[in-house]
């Protein structure tokens, strides 16, 4: 039986890159997004072309009442759950001064990026701990952001949500290590997705000026390949670690 991965926010962008990279490494995949669209069909078809059994699950991770159904759908698809990838996330609706952040914007971002991720991880971990079958390495991989450590005053609530995910990753690593379940964080840099498309001109200029030592955009596949390497068990004595997939953006320079 193939290992089974559950990927949130899998319709497109980084989520699709993760689904396809996992398919290439021999995983079957259940992927979650708000609604089934043409993007969902493309992700599923591409994963199946790579040899995976792929299933779409329509759900909003901000709705905690849907979490059991999400995990149940993964088990129904694959008979097991070896990997949860917490990828779903949103940015701020409109960038602006930290002094102008509204409670509504703060709550909206936190509901998806932090609260939803926290409780879905809890639901998945409980189910996996109760299931002792299989010898495949098991893990939770959480996609945060360079903004987990790099501050942006024009999207404070986003930065706060991603910084909190870093602590969640370490807490899960401590709690789940005895059960052989690893927990990792991946911090993407400037990745070419729909979320960054609105700032293409800005980032083209900054990358050209040397914003990151590797002077190119990151691609969803860059994140996917990192997730797949971790999930395949290539780093069996590592947990609670943050992997920067950012072309060196995070490196302090003089």
Query: What is the Cα–Cα distance from 66 to 73, expressed in whole angstroms?
Result: 11
pLDDT beyond 80 at 133: no
Does residue 220 carry a pLDDT above 70? yes
Whether 144 is a known active-site residue: answer yes
Domains and CATH numbers, the chain: 4-244 (3.40.50.720)
Predicted confidence band of residue 116 (pLDDT cuts 50, 70, 90): very high
Among 158, 156, 150, 162, which Cα is nearest to 99's?
A: 156
Residue 183 annotated in active site: no
- DSSP letter at 40 equals H
Mean pLDDT of the chain: 96
Q: Residue 84's CB: how many other CB atoms inside 10 A? A: 30
Note the pLDDT of residue 197: 82
The overall pTM is greater than 0.85: yes
Catalytic-labelled residue, pool 144, 145, 166, 183: 144
CA atoms within 13 A on the CB side of 56: 23
Catalytic residue at 2? Answer: no
Average pLDDT estimate for 86-115: 96
- E strand or H helix at 129: helix 117-129
- pLDDT tier at 169 (50, 70, 90 boundaries)? very high
Q: Which among 40, 105, 158, 166 is annotated as catalytic?
A: 158
Look at residue 251 in the predicted model and tell me its pLDDT: 96
Catalytic residue among 121, 162, 183, 212: 162
**34-81 pLDDT tens trace:** 999 999 999 999 999 999 999 999 999 999 999 999 999 999 999 999
pLDDT category, 196, cuts 50, 70, 90?
confident
């Amino acid at each position: 039986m193939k290992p089974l991965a559950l990927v949130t926010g899998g319709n497109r962008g980084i989520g699709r890159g993760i689904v396809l990279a996992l398919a290439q490494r021999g995983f079957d995949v259940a992927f979650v997004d708000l609604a089934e669209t043409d993007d969902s069909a493309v992700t599923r078809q591409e994963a199946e072309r790579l040899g995976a059994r792929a299933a779409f699950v329509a759900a909003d991770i901000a709705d905690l009442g849907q979490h059991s159904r999400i995990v149940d759908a993964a088990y129904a698809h694959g008979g097991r759950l070896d990997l949860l990838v917490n990828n779903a996330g949103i940015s701020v609706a409109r960038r602006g001064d930290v002094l102008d952040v509204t409670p509504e914007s703060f709550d909206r971002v936190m509901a998806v990026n932090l609260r939803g991720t926290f409780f879905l991880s809890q639901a998945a971990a409980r189910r996996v701990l109760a299931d002792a079958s299989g010898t495949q390495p098991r893990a939770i991989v959480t996609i945060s952001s360079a903004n987990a450590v790099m501050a942006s005053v024009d999207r404070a609530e986003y930065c706060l949500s991603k910084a909190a995910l870093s602590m969640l990753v370490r807490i899960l690593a401590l709690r789940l290590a005895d059960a052989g379940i690893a927990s990792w964080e991946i911090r993407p840099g400037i990745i070419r997705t729909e979320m960054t498309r609105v700032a293409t001109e800005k980032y083209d200029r900054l990358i050209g000026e040397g914003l990151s030592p590797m002077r190119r955009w990151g691609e969803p596949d860059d994140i996917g390949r990192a997730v797949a390497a971790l999930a395949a068990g290539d780093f069996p004595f590592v947990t609670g670690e943050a992997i920067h997939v950012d072309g060196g953006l995070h490196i302090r320079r003089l």
